[in-house]
Amino acid sequence: MALTKKGEFWYGTTSGDTQAELRSYSVANRHEAVRFAASKCDCGCRSFALQTDEEAGVAIRTCTDCGRQHLMGDNAEYVEEAVPEAHECVCENEVFELMSGVSVYEGTHDVRWYYIACRCVECNLVGVFADWKCEAGDAAAFLAKV
């Protein structure tokens, strides 16, 4: 596995590549992601359409197989005011594998910043599509719901 750069974009082939890109983005953001989890639908599928509202701190993934919608991290308290927008790759595809990462408050397991990285299933572009300050409590419990 290795990330390769074409123009201004990075491309990878595995979830490890997506995780590596997420980490380097988070380091540049000065809240280094230390825990990660890949999204998987209850039906077993790993490719999704993604809608986010960074302002409201809301992300919704829709399974491309069974159509089930899931609120990532289950942050239901903010969803009413949210205006989630769909993400599209530079290749115009809208189907992605999703990798979540969080930074935590020093000396705790409490989530401080949330990142969502995507890998396009068509062209293999990888990138962080959304991130926000997120005080969601226990990182393991949060990442179990992405």
Least distance in angstroms from the C-beta of 52 to Zn ion:
17
Angle at 65 between CA 119 and CA 43, to 5 degrees: 100
**With respect to Zn ion, which residue has the nearer C-beta, 1 or 43?**
43
Q: Tell me the two tokens of residue 52.
A: 């986010």
Considering the complex, state which of residue 77 and residue 122 has its C-beta at the smaller distance from Zn ion: 122
- Is residue 76 within 8 A of residue 58, CB to CB? The reply is no
Q: Judge contact between 48 and 98, C-beta under 8 A.
A: yes
Minimum Å distance from CB 76 to Zn ion?
20
Provide the minimum distance between the beta carbon of 133 and Zn ion in the complex, in angstroms, as a whole number.
28
Q: Which is nearer to Zn ion, 27 or 90 (CB)?
A: 90
Footprint of Zn ion (CB under 5 A): 41, 43, 45, 63, 65-66, 68, 89, 91, 93, 120, 122-123, 125
- Phi and psi at 17, nearest 5°, equal -65, -40
